């Protein structure tokens, strides 16, 4: 079998890999948080959360946390947390579900190209240059949101008396 050749710089490829791993860690922590908010039976919780898309996981988690958290400030923080997670997922999807083309030389940044068919617009191409710092910033944001999920989990366990 031949080797797939890409002109995308290795550092970009490495950061894309980190985006993927950081997103999976975030999704894991959000699922765990949802399971704890849903039931004491974590196996039952895993059954439910394993069938949820990321968006539905956020919707379910938001509703459950709204139910469990009485403090208005906590609810505002959770709303902000869920918004950050949703925006990070949108950015991750834009980057990961694209075709990548390396720059012609060191002066050109790699491009991500996404082809979509729109009902009213026909075939559309979404193309943009992507800096290494943008990828690194997304990794940092995904990790930060995951750490916030862990902090919320600790607070939720305390509120539910399940330390």
Give me the residue spans of the domains in the chain.
10-96+132-160
User: Contact 130/12 with Cβ under 8 angstroms?
Assistant: yes
How many other C-beta atoms lie within 10 A of the C-beta of residue 128?
A: 13
Tell me the three state secondary structure of residue 130: coil
Residue 149: predicted pLDDT: 96
Tell me the three state secondary structure of residue 99: strand
Report, as an integer, the average pLDDT of 118-127: 90
**Higher per-residue confidence, 6 vs 12:** 12
**Higher per-residue confidence, 5 vs 156:** 156
Residue 106 vs residues 9, 110, 135: alpha-carbon distances, Å: 9, 10, 18
Residue 97 vs residues 46, 52, 91, 116, 151: alpha-carbon distances, Å: 26, 19, 10, 11, 30
Report, as an integer, the average pLDDT of 108-129: 88
pLDDT(53) > 60: yes
pLDDT, the chain, mean: 91
Tens of pLDDT along 58-112? 999 999 999 888 777 888 889 999 999 999 999 999 999 999 988 656 566 788 9
| Helical ranges in 39-131 per DSSP H | 42-49, 54-68, 72-96
User: Contact 116/94 with Cβ under 8 angstroms?
Assistant: no
Residue 103: predicted pLDDT: 67
Residue 145: predicted pLDDT: 98
Q: Scanning the structure block, which residue is given the tokens 């949820």?
A: 52
DSSP string of 8-27, one letter each residue: S-HHHHHHHHHHHHHHHHHH
Write out the two tokens for 153. 């989990």
Residues of the chain with pLDDT > 90: what percent? 67
Tens of pLDDT along 20-42? 999 999 999 999 999 999 999 99
């Amino acid at each position: 079998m031949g080797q797939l050749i890409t002109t995308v710089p290795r550092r970009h490829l490495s950061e894309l890999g980190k985006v993927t791993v950081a997103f999976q860690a975030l999704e894991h922590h959000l699922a765990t948080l949802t399971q704890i908010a849903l039931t004491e039976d974590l196996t039952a919780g895993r059954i439910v959360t394993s069938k949820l898309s990321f968006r539905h996981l956020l919707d379910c988690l938001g509703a459950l946390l709204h139910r469990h958290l009485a403090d208005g400030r906590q609810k505002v923080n959770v709303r902000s947390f869920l918004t950050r997670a949703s925006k990070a997922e949108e950015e991750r999807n834009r980057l990961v579900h694209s075709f990548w083309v390396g720059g012609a030389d060191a002066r050109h940044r790699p491009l991500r190209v996404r082809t979509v068919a729109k009902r009213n617009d026909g075939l559309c191409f979404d193309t943009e240059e992507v800096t290494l710092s943008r990828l690194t910033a997304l990794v940092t944001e995904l990790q930060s949101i995951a750490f916030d999920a862990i902090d919320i989990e600790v607070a939720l366990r305390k509120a539910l008396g399940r330390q």
